Amino acid sequence: MKYQDLIAACQEDWTAYTEHAFVQQLAKGTLEQSCFLHYLKQDFLFLKQYARAYALAIYKARTLEDMRRALPTVYNLLDSETAHHVEYCAQWGLTEADLENEAEDFGTVAYTRYVLDAGMTGDLVDLYAALAPCSVGYGVIGKKLLEDESTVIEGNPYASWIELYSGDDYQSSVMTGMEHFNKLLAEIDINSQRGQNLVDVFKTATRMEIAFWQQGLNAK
């Protein structure tokens, strides 16, 4: 199987995730600021837990090659991706320490601890199945927004978010990650018990992404 088969197995949830109202409003710049700020503060806490999850991938890997593959993502998460959120929130006088001290919302706890649990109880492939909706989904969203004529960049207060996820650096890191994931999936039949467990994990993480957008919209 391939990661594309995982998407096909939960197409309805996948569309609800990648075409969520939050994303559409963000692309046009019409999203309420309170929604974006709540999302970004929660996403900062999310990224912190994701750095732990990619560190878990190093722990779970059996080969040096697999261990090395997870390392740039751990670095990226702790460096540039969180830096974007900190820079953006600085407009409101919020510091990194303020963000770190925010309370985690329910959707943030549910999603990140689910991913960590899927990785801890399973192996490296289970962990990547839980992590994949995040990286592939944001890759798909970034690319779509860049290609969509109705996306507004000039004057859009959320342009830096669009640029982060549609940028070449991010897009090529998703490609590399998915090529690696496909190598790990190659031997697994989607119709086997193992394959169906991976579909369940991928689908649950996708549903968590929908809930994460909704958590932002609910902060009106």
Ligand X SMILES: Cc1ncc(C[n+]2csc(CCO)c2C)c(N)n1
> Which residues of this protein are in contact with ligand X, per CB under 6 A?
43, 46-47, 50, 73, 76-77, 81, 134-135, 138, 209, 212
Nearest distance in Å: CB 193, ligand X: 28
Nearest to ligand X of 1, 51 (CB atom): 51
Q: How far apart are CA 36 and CA 220, in angstroms?
A: 9
Task: Give Cα separations from 196 to 6, 9, 202 (angstroms).
Answer: 9, 10, 10
Nearest to ligand X of 86, 195 (CB atom): 86
Nearest distance in Å: CB 125, ligand X: 17
Nearest to ligand X of 100, 189 (CB atom): 100
Nearest distance in Å: CB 9, ligand X: 20
Nearest distance in Å: CB 84, ligand X: 9
Whether residue 111 contacts residue 211, with contact meaning beta carbons closer than 8 Å, is answered with yes
Contacts of 37 (CB under 8 A, 6+ apart): 89, 92, 219
Nearest to ligand X of 1, 70 (CB atom): 70
